[in-house]
Amino acid sequence: MTVSNKLRMAFVGCGGIADLHWQGIQTVADPVRVTAAVDTDAERRTGMALRTGAKPFATLDEALRKGNFDAVDVMLPHDLHEGAALACLEAGKHVLLEKPLAHTLDSAERIIAFAKGFPDQVFMIAEQSQYWTDVIEARKLIDTGAIGRVLNARACFYDRVQIDPEAPPPWRYSLSRAGGGIVIDGGAHWIRPLRMMLGEVNEVIAVTGRHMERMEGESWSQSILRFESGVTAVFEAKNVAAPAGHTELFCVTGTEGELVITGGRNAELQLYNADSPRGTKVLDAAEGKRDSYGAEIKDFAAAVLDGTEPAASPQYSLGEMRTALAMYRSVKSRRWEKVWA
């Protein structure tokens, strides 16, 4: 496939996440032009087409036959990932696929295996937390010994949700469509940074619960992750529909200090050690979080246009899903469960 210095991309799925990807393209991913907007919902595809200048299509099949694009950004419900990814790869398109890879491990592994049959096409999983500047900087500080030897860590993902009892439940609340609840979905954005900072997860033990009746999967979870290094991290994920206070997003404790990542309006990375016992702000985190959608698309575009290697391979990107599935097994077994077994 001949590709110019601009990457022509189709948005496959024009829901809320597509708006964030479009903002990222406008602010960060300059080489990308959105030339097709695909969605079964006429209002969504028409709206996205008007915002981007793309041509609207009601189905992916129609877009693959009539559209003018080199790559796709697949932003569909998890159970539709496999069909869309395979069809696009077979049609000769480069594929950026939203996390998680699929709704089941078998489906995810089929996608990875199929993509290997197209070595000249880029296949990448979109996980914006791979590009969070605070996490990247925290790993650098850990590597330089800023907090000594890492002892343990904690992470808390809380998703503030608004519930309309009159509206039908979103597809994310369906266990068969999403593959799980909060851990496999939004929780992945916290599992990836833990892996980036602490290395690969070896095993987990977890408990989950459901306080949101219409959500079939878990709406809260608490777990301990043990990494290959022996370091452990406490991870909490929860949907919050009631008033709640702020909490640290991440905290990594070492023998000589601590790294803390906060969220909200005062999002920042803070370092506590002998040189700064009261803590010092290393960097503001809000901008890095906001621009991470554009950064992941820019990384994908560079892989297509320049032949660079993406920051994370598809196999590595399977780690969040495997960690979540190990947690689900642990809930049933009430034992530690291996992630990569």
pLDDT digits (tens, 9 = 90+) for 300-323: 999 999 999 999 999 999 999 999
Q: What are phi and psi of 327, to 5 degrees?
A: -65, -45
Q: At what angle do helices 188-198 and 133-143 cross, to 10 degrees?
A: 20
Is residue 304 a contact partner of residue 70, using CB atoms and an 8 Å limit?
yes
Start-to-end CA distance of the chain, whole Å, equals 38
Cis peptide preceding 168, ω within 30 of 0: no
Query: For position 294, what pLDDT does the model report?
Result: 97
Question: What's the chain's length in residues?
Answer: 341
Instruction: Tell me the pLDDT tens digit for each residue of 59-88.
Output: 999 999 999 999 999 999 999 999 999 999
Radius of gyration of the chain (CA): 20
Q: Where are the domains of the chain?
A: 7-126, 132-291+321-338
Tokens standing for residue 217: 């999967």
What is the model's pTM?
Answer: 0.95
In the three-class reduction of DSSP (H, G, I as helix; E, B as strand; rest coil), residue 254 is classed as strand
**Range scoring the smallest mean pLDDT among 54-63, 79-88, 116-125, 244-253:** 244-253
Query: For position 1, what pLDDT does the model report?
Result: 41
Please state, as a whole number, how many other Cβ atoms lie within 10 Å of the Cβ of residue 42: 10
In the three-class reduction of DSSP (H, G, I as helix; E, B as strand; rest coil), residue 74 is classed as strand
Please state, in angstroms and rounded to a whole number, the distance separating the CA atoms of residues 122 and 107.
19
Banded pLDDT at 4 (limits 50, 70, 90): low
The H-assigned helical ranges of the chain are: 16-27, 42-52, 60-66, 81-90, 105-115, 133-143, 175-178, 188-198, 286-290, 292-306, 314-317, 319-333
Helix (H) or strand (E) holding 249: none
CATH of domain 132-291+321-338: 3.30.360.10
Sequence-distant (≥ 6) Cβ neighbours of residue 166 within 8 angstroms = none
* 337-338 sheet: strands from edge to edge: 276-284, 268-273, 257-261, 250-254, 150-160, 232-240, 220-227, 201-209, 337-338
Say what percent of the chain tops pLDDT 70: 99
Please state, as a whole number, how many other Cβ atoms lie within 10 Å of the Cβ of residue 248: 13
Helix (H) or strand (E) holding 245: none
Report whether pLDDT(101) > 60.
yes
Please state, in angstroms and rounded to a whole number, the distance separating the CA atoms of residues 233 and 141.
18
Please state, in angstroms and rounded to a whole number, the distance separating the CA atoms of residues 271 and 275.
9
Q: What are phi and psi of 291, to 5 degrees?
A: -85, 0
**If we measure between CA atoms, which residue out of 204, 222, 188, 193 comes closest to residue 288?**
193
CATH of domain 7-126: 3.40.50.720
Query: For position 2, what pLDDT does the model report?
Result: 41
| Average pLDDT over the chain, rounded to an integer | 95
**If we measure between CA atoms, which residue out of 107, 123, 103 comes closest to residue 115?**
123
Instruction: Tell me the pLDDT tens digit for each residue of 158-217.
Output: 888 877 778 889 999 999 999 999 999 999 999 999 999 999 999 999 999 999 989 999
Query: For position 235, what pLDDT does the model report?
Result: 98
Query: For position 3, what pLDDT does the model report?
Result: 47
In the three-class reduction of DSSP (H, G, I as helix; E, B as strand; rest coil), residue 158 is classed as strand
Banded pLDDT at 45 (limits 50, 70, 90): very high
